[in-house]
Amino acid sequence: MIKAILFDLDNTLMDFMTMKTKSCEAAIEAMVDAGLKMSKKKCMDILFELYGEKGIEYDRIFQEFLKKTMKIVDYKILAEGIVAYRRAQFAYVKPYPGAVETLIKLKEKGLKLGIVSDAPSVNAWIRLVEMNLEDFFDVVVTFHDTGERKPSKAPFLKAIKEIGIDPNNILFVGDWPERDIKGAKLVGMKTAFAKYGSNEKTEKTDADHVLKSIKDLLSVV
């Protein structure tokens, strides 16, 4: 019997990659308008190449980008990019359609809810607060809580300890089979693949359930 549901955050409760792409596009456009002499397409290619090297949450990415493209950090151009990024980010940090209603109904059923995310603590909490979701969850475990990323058992075990429910009675929902589904299974949780949030064409996930919409959770539990 499912007594708790733990969620990945990015691409499970919110469309992270759309937010990231649109925010970066806004930042690049602002920096080019401020004097960066390079095509926007080439800028995006270089920026996401750097994200691949540094990590998608790297917080000095625009400084590294300007060093690579201009050989110096022009602080006016940097500021234009950061401000444009933040404005666009706020506009795109939204829960998936049906997410809030689903969370409300799950709480009404008496289920405990939690987050297990690889995002840095401050980033995860900012996104939750911006989406007005922060009060739904009984436990939030982020990268800084264990220093390990999924599929390591560590973040899952910490969430289990804090939520106080046997893993056999916990359902984990995530969009990344190699990290979310694999890690949750390693500690004995039931699993649901958030197909609606996956950017990959995944045929085999090993998940117990496949969700075409977050609202499908209501029929699972």
The residue extents of the domains of the chain are 4-15+95-220, 17-92
Position 200 pLDDT exceeds 90: no
- Give the pLDDT band of residue 159 (cuts 50, 70, 90): very high
- Give the pLDDT band of residue 31 (cuts 50, 70, 90): very high
User: What does the pLDDT average to over 134-155?
Assistant: 97
pLDDT value, residue 115: 98
Alpha-carbon torsion (84, 90, 91, 97), positive or negative: positive
User: What does the pLDDT average to over 36-63?
Assistant: 96
Structure tokens at 126: 């900012």
Cis? peptide before 177, omega within 30° of 0: no
Position 203 pLDDT exceeds 80: no
Composition of the chain by helix, strand, coil, percent to 5: 55, 15, 30
Looking at the structure, give the CATH architecture of the domain made up of residues 17-92.
Orthogonal Bundle (1.10)
pLDDT value, residue 199: 75
pLDDT value, residue 3: 98
pLDDT value, residue 198: 87
pLDDT value, residue 53: 97
User: What does the pLDDT average to over 183-193?
Assistant: 98
Position 202 pLDDT exceeds 80: no
* Whole-angstrom distance, CA of residue 121 vs CA of residue 8: 13
CATH 3.40.50.1000 given to domain 4-15+95-220: yes
Position 30 pLDDT exceeds 90: yes
Average pLDDT, the chain: 96
